[in-house]
C-alpha cells in the first residue's frame, strides 16, 4: 500500500504558524525541583515495593546488586547524554523527543519519539496496575470477612479514569503539586522500612537470602525489575515549561539517578537482613512485614510510589505526543492538528492526554504487571540507546556547533548504547526482535510520508566525515610502503552529458578494485556566474552518478583553458589518501576534433608519472557478453601488463559478470608455438581469469596493417584495449588513434612503468 501525503504551501504556513503560536503562548515557570521530583518519584516506583523482594530471594544479594549496577550502566550514561544534549541546544516541549529530532532529523526523531511515547503511555498503565496492588491487603480482608471478591481492575480502571480527569482538567500545575505530597508519603514509608525489624519467622541466619542465588535467572529477573531504573528521564518531558532547561535538566536528572541507585542498594541489604529467601519470593509485599507500622505505611508508600510514577508518566507522555504533532510528523494532517493543540497559558496538551489515557486504559484492562514491565523495558531501551548514540556521534563527529555546557565522555555514551542494545536481547530476544521490527516499520512509514526530510543519512554524516578523514590520512602514509598496484584514476571531460562511455568506464574501474574521480571541465574564468553554473552541473553529476552501479566521486573544475585545467587536476591529492596514478581522456571517434588537445597535453601528464588511458567512444551500444579483447605485442613491455590488470579491474563490475577476457598476441609465424607456451605460462603464474580457449596467437603478416588485423578479430567486442607508444605517437600524431573504425569502443593504454603480475 502506497501512502501519499502532500503539503501545500498554505498548509505548511498554517502549521508553522500554529506551532509558533503554541510554543510562544507557553509560560515557562518551573525550576529544577519538578525535574528532580518527577524523576525520583518515577524511579522509586512499583518495582521497588512489589518485585525487589522477589529479586533478592531469587538471584541473591550479589545478583541484585549486579543487576542494579548493570541497569545503571545504561541509565547513568543516558542521564549524562541527556544532560549533555540538553545543554547544547535550546530545548522546547517534548523533552527527549525534541533532543533526538533536532540531533538526528525529524524522521528519525519521530520514529524514536513514537517509541518513546508508547513507553511513557504504557508506563501509566503499568503504574496504575501496581497502584491497585497496594489495596490487595484490604481486598483480602474484605474477601475473608465479607466473602466479597474485589478484582484488581475494579481499583485500577477507576483510579486511572479519576487521575486522568484531574490531570486533564488541571494540567501540569496540579500534577506537580500532587508530586510533592506523594513523594513525602514515599519517603516516610521508606524511612519506616529502614527503621523496621526482622520478620517474626526470621530466626536463623541460614534462612537468609543467599549471597549468590540462581544466577541463571539473572536476566529474566532483570527484565522484570529494569523499569525500576527507568524514569530518570521523566523530568525531561517538562522541558517546555522549564525556565532554564539547560540547568534544570542536568541537575534534576543526574541527582535523581544517583539518589535512586543508592536507595536501591540499601533496600537490597535491608531485605536480605530482614526476611527469609522463601518469604522474599512468595510475598510481594514483604516490606510491610519489616517496616514500622508496615501494615499501613508500606501500602501507602506503594500507593504513593505508583501514583507519583503514574503522574510523572501522564504528565510527560502527552507532551511528547504533542511535540511530535507540532512537527507534523504523523501521517495525517488532521491528526497532527488535533494532537498539537494546547489549552491555556501553559499550552496543556488536552487532546494528547485523552489519547494517552485511552492507550493506558487498554493495557490496564489487558496486561499483568510482569508482561507490561517487559514491554516498556524494550521501549525504554530503544530510547536510551538512541540518546547515547546521539551523544557518541556528536563526540566522534567533532561538529563545531556541538558545544554543550555539560560534557560527558564519548566512551560513556558508547558503553551506554552497547549495553542498552545487548540487554534488550539478553532480557528477551523475542521482545527485542519485535521492538526492532516495529521501529523499522514506523520509520518506513514516516520516511515514505515525509520523504523530503532528512533520514538515516543525517545520523552518520559527521561520523563518516571523521572516519574518511582518518582513513585518508592513514592511507596517505601507508601508500608509500605498499608495492601492490590498483588504479586511482582521475578523468576530465567537457562532454559529460553528450556521451556516457567515459562516465561508464570510470564507473567500472571504481566499482570494486579501483578508485575514480570524474571531473567535468567548464571553460572560463572563475566568477559568480561560472560558480552558479558549476553548482547546477554538480547537481546533475550527482544525480547521474546515483543512477549508476559504482563508487566514483564527481566534481567540476572551472579553468580558462583545457591545459590549465589538467595542470590543476593532476596535482590534487587522491580522495582516498592514495595518490592518483592514472589519467583518463576521451574523444568521439566520429568527431575526433578534440583529440588534438588531448595529445598536446600528454607530455605534461607523463611528467607526473601517470598511466594514461584514452578512450575512443563509438555510437555502438555496449554488448557486455561479448567481452574485452586485449591486443598484446610483447608481455614484457610496460603497456601490455597494465592492459591486462586494467581489464581485470573493469570486469569486477557486475555489468561484466558474464563477459570473458580475451587475449590476442601478435607473433611472427616462426615463433607462434613459443609465444603460445609463453603466454599460457604467464597467465597461469599470474592467476589471470583467462582460459586457454580465450587466448589466441595471431600471425603478424608483414603486408597486413595492425588495424586491419584488430578489425578482423575484434569487430564485435564490447571493449577493445590496445597499447600506444610515445615513439610512434611522435611520428604519427593523431593518426596513431585513427583507423580503428571496424571496432566499437577502444581504449588506448600507456603505462609509465612495468607492472608486476604475481
How high does pLDDT run on average in the chain?
A: 81
β-strand partners of 151? none
Residues 359, 97: Cα–Cα separation, whole Å:
19
Per DSSP, 405 falls in state S
Residues 6+ apart with CB under 8 A from 522: 494, 530, 533, 534, 537, 556, 557, 558, 559
| Residue 2 clears pLDDT 50, i.e. is over it | no
- Which of the pair, 247 or 259, is modelled with greater confidence? 259
The model's confidence at residue 21, banded by pLDDT at 50, 70 and 90, is very low
Q: What is the mean pLDDT of residues 608-617?
A: 92
Q: What is the mean pLDDT of residues 144-169?
A: 82
Give the DSSP H/E element, type plus range, for residue 661: strand 661-667
Do 440 and 488 have their domain in common? no
Q: What is the mean pLDDT of residues 108-121?
A: 84
DSSP-assigned letters across all residues of 734-754: GGGG---TTSSSEEEEE-SSP
Closest CA to 664 of 597, 611, 717: 717
For residue 630, report the phi and psi dihedrals to the nearest 5 degrees.
Answer: -115, 125
Q: What is the mean pLDDT of residues 580-595?
A: 89
Q: Bin 733: left if φ > 0, else alpha if -120 < ψ < 50, else beta.
A: left
Q: Classify residue 465: in a domain, yes or no.
A: no
Q: Classify residue 469: in a domain, yes or no.
A: no
Q: Please state, in angstroms and as integers, the Cα–Cα distance from residue 651 to each residue in 80, 203, 512, 583, 618, following that order.
A: 51, 82, 9, 19, 20
Residue 250, pLDDT score: 83
| Residue 340 clears pLDDT 80, i.e. is over it | yes
C-alpha cell at 553: 566521486
Number of independent structural domains in the chain: 2
Per DSSP, 720 falls in state E
Q: Classify residue 478: in a domain, yes or no.
A: no
Write down the residue that cell numbers 610496460 correspond to.
638
Do 68 and 167 have their domain in common? yes
Do 166 and 243 have their domain in common? yes
Residue 22, pLDDT score: 45
Q: What is the mean pLDDT of residues 415-421?
A: 91
Q: Helix, strand, coil: what percent of the chain each, to 5? A: 65, 10, 25
Residue 3, pLDDT score: 37
C-alpha cell at 734: 593523431
The model's confidence at residue 626, banded by pLDDT at 50, 70 and 90, is very high
Do 562 and 696 have their domain in common? yes
User: Taking the model in full, what pTM does it have?
Assistant: 0.62
Closest CA to 489 of 605, 636, 592, 656: 605
Domain boundary among 422, 442, 457: 457
DSSP-assigned letters across all residues of 559-593: ESSHHHHHHHHTTSPPTTSSPP-EEEEEEESSSGG
Domain boundary among 439, 457, 475: 457
| Residue 465 clears pLDDT 90, i.e. is over it | no
The model's confidence at residue 113, banded by pLDDT at 50, 70 and 90, is confident
Do 63 and 115 have their domain in common? yes
Do 453 and 488 have their domain in common? no
User: In terms of residue numbers, what domain contains 602?
Assistant: 483-750
The model's confidence at residue 176, banded by pLDDT at 50, 70 and 90, is low
CATH number at residue 186: 1.20.1740.10
Give the DSSP H/E element, type plus range, for residue 719: strand 719-723
| Residue 19 clears pLDDT 70, i.e. is over it | no
Q: Classify residue 347: in a domain, yes or no.
A: yes
Do 99 and 225 have their domain in common? yes
Residue 532, pLDDT score: 94
Q: What is the mean pLDDT of residues 16-40?
A: 62
Residues 181, 41 contacting (CB under 8 angstroms): no
Q: Classify residue 397: in a domain, yes or no.
A: yes
Residues 6+ apart with CB under 8 A from 407: 84
Q: Classify residue 200: in a domain, yes or no.
A: yes
Span 342-367, pLDDT tens digits = 777 667 788 888 899 999 888 888 75
| Residue 526 clears pLDDT 60, i.e. is over it | yes
| Residue 18 clears pLDDT 50, i.e. is over it | no
Closest CA to 682 of 611, 756, 751: 756
| Residue 538 clears pLDDT 90, i.e. is over it | yes
Do 452 and 511 have their domain in common? no
The model's confidence at residue 566, banded by pLDDT at 50, 70 and 90, is very high
Q: In what order do the strands lie in the sheet with 661-667?
A: 553-559, 515-523, 488-493, 582-588, 611-617, 746-750, 719-723, 628-632, 661-667, 695-699
Residue 5, pLDDT score: 36
3-class SS of residue 551? coil
Do 314 and 400 have their domain in common? yes
Residue 194, pLDDT score: 92
Span 53-81, pLDDT tens digits = 889 989 999 999 999 999 888 888 988 88
In this structure, how many other beta carbons lie within 10 angstroms of the beta carbon of residue 161? 15
| Residue 459 clears pLDDT 70, i.e. is over it | no
Residues 329, 350: Cα–Cα separation, whole Å:
19
Do 409 and 513 have their domain in common? no
Q: Classify residue 227: in a domain, yes or no.
A: yes
The model's confidence at residue 237, banded by pLDDT at 50, 70 and 90, is low
Residues 567, 153: Cα–Cα separation, whole Å:
81
Do 444 and 487 have their domain in common? no
Least confident piece of the model among 37-41, 106-110, 255-259, 490-494: 37-41
Strands 515-523 and 553-559: parallel
Kindly state the percentage of the chain with pLDDT values over 90.
17
Residues 101, 94: Cα–Cα separation, whole Å:
10
Q: Classify residue 114: in a domain, yes or no.
A: yes
Do 503 and 413 have their domain in common? no
Residues 293, 299 contacting (CB under 8 angstroms): no
| Residue 12 clears pLDDT 50, i.e. is over it | no
Residue 93, pLDDT score: 60
CATH number at residue 646: 3.40.50
Amino acid at each position: 500500500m502506497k501512502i501519499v501525503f502532500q503539503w501545500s504551501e498554505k498548509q505548511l504556513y498554517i502549521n508553522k504558524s500554529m506551532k509558533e503560536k503554541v510554543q510562544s503562548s507557553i509560560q515557562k515557570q518551573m525550576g529544577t525541583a519538578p525535574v528532580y521530583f518527577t524523576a525520583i518519584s518515577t524511579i522509586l516506583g512499583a518495582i521497588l515495593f512489589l518485585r525487589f523482594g522477589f529479586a533478592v530471594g531469587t538471584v541473591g544479594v550479589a545478583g541484585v546488586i549486579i543487576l542494579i549496577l548493570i541497569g545503571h550502566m545504561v541509565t547513568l550514561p543516558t542521564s549524562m547524554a541527556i544532560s549533555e544534549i540538553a545543554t547544547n541546544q535550546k530545548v522546547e516541549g517534548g523533552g527527549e523527543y525534541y533532543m533526538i529530532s533536532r540531533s538526528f532529523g525529524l524522521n528519525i526523531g519521530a520514529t524514536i519519539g513514537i517509541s518513546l511515547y508508547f513507553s511513557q503511555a504504557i508506563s501509566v498503565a503499568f503504574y496504575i496496575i501496581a497502584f491497585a496492588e497496594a489495596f490487595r491487603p484490604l481486598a483480602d480482608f474484605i474477601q475473608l470477612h465479607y466473602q466479597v471478591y474485589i478484582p484488581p481492575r475494579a481499583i485500577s480502571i477507576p483510579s486511572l479514569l479519576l487521575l486522568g480527569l484531574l490531570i486533564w482538567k488541571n494540567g501540569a500545575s496540579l500534577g506537580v503539586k500532587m508530586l510533592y505530597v506523594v513523594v513525602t508519603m514515599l519517603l516516610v514509608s521508606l524511612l519506616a522500612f529502614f527503621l523496621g525489624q526482622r520478620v517474626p519467622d526470621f530466626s536463623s541466619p541460614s534462612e537468609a537470602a543467599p549471597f549468590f542465588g540462581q544466577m541463571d535467572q539473572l536476566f529474566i529477573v532483570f527484565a522484570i525489575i529494569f523499569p525500576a531504573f527507568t524514569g530518570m528521564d521523566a523530568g525531561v518531558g517538562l522541558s517546555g515549561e522549564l525556565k532554564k532547561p539547560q540547568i534544570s535538566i542536568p541537575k534534576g536528572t543526574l541527582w535523581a539517578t544517583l539518589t535512586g541507585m543508592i536507595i536501591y542498594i540499601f533496600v537490597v541489604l535491608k531485605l536480605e537482613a530482614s526476611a527469609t529467601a522463601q518469604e522474599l519470593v512468595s510475598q510481594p509485599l514483604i516490606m510491610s512485614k519489616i517496616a514500622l507500622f508496615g501494615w499501613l505505611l508500606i501500602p501507602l508508600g506503594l500507593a504513593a510510589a505508583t501514583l507519583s510514577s503514574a503522574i510523572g508518566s501522564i504528565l510527560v507522555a502527552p507532551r511528547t505526543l504533542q511535540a511530535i504533532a507540532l512537527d507534523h510528523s504523523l501521517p495525517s494532517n488532521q491528526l497532527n492538528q488535533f494532537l498539537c493543540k494546547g489549552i491555556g497559558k501553559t499550552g496543556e496538551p488536552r487532546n494528547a492526554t485523552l489519547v494517552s489515557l485511552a492507550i493506558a486504559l487498554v493495557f490496564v484492562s489487558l496486561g499483568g504487571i510482569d508482561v507490561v514491565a517487559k514491554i516498556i523495558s524494550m521501549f525504554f531501551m530503544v530510547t536510551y540507546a538512541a540518546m547515547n548514540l546521539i551523544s557518541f556521534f556528536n563526540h566522534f563527529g567533532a561538529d563545531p556547533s556541538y558545544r554543550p555546557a555539560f560534557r560527558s565522555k564519548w566512551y560513556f555514551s558508547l558503553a551506554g548504547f552497547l549495553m542498552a542494545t545487548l540487554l534488550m536481547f539478553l532480557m528477551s530476544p523475542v521482545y527485542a526482535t519485535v521492538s526492532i521490527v516495529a521501529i523499522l516499520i514506523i520509520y518506513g512509514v514516516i520516511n515514505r510520508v515525509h520523504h523530503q526530510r532528512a533520514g538515516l543519512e543525517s545520523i552518520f554524516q559527521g561520523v563518516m566525515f571523521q572516519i574518511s578523514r582518518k582513513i585518508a590520512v592513514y592511507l596517505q602514509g601507508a601508500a608509500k610502503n605498499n608495492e601492490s598496484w590498483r588504479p586511482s584514476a582521475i578523468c576530465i571531460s567537457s562532454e559529460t552529458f553528450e556521451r556516457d562511455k567515459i562516465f561508464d568506464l570510470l564507473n567500472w574501474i571504481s566499482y570494486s578494485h579501483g578508485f575514480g574521480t570524474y571531473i567535468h571541465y567548464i571553460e572560463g574564468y572563475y566568477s559568480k556566474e561560472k560558480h552558479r553554473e558549476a553548482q547546477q552541473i554538480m547537481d546533475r553529476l550527482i544525480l547521474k552518478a546515483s543512477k549508476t552501479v559504482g563508487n566514483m566521486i564527481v566534481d567540476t573544475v572551472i579553468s580558462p583553458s583545457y591545459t590549465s585545467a589538467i595542470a590543476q587536476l593532476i596535482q590534487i591529492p587522491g580522495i582516498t589518501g592514495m595518490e592518483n596514478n592514472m589519467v583518463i581522456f576521451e574523444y568521439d571517434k566520429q568527431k575526433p576534433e578534440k583529440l588534438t588537445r588531448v595529445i598536446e597535453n600528454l607530455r605534461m601528464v607523463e611528467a607526473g608519472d601517470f598511466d594514461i588511458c584514452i578512450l575512443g567512444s563509438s555510437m555502438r551500444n555496449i554488448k557486455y557478453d561479448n567481452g574485452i579483447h586485449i591486443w598484446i605485442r610483447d608481455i614484457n613491455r610496460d603497456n601490455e601488463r597494465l592492459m591486462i590488470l586494467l581489464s581485470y579491474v573493469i570486469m569486477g563490475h557486475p555489468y561484466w559478470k558474464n563477459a570473458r577476457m580475451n587475449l590476442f598476441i601478435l607473433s611472427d609465424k616462426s615463433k607462434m608455438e613459443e609465444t603460445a607456451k609463453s603466454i599460457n605460462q604467464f597467465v597461469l603464474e599470474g592467476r589471470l581469469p583467462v582460459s586457454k580457449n580465450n587466448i589466441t596467437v595471431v600471425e603478424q603478416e608483414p603486408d597486413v596493417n595492425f588495424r586491419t588485423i584488430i578489425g578482423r578479430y575484434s569487430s564485435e567486442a564490447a571493449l577493445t584495449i590496445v597499447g600506444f607508444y610515445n615513439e610512434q605517437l611522435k611520428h604519427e600524431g593523431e593518426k596513431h588513434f585513427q583507423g580503428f573504425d571496424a571496432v566499437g569502443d577502444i581504449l588506448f593504454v600507456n603505462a609509465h612503468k612495468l607492472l608486476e603480475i604475481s
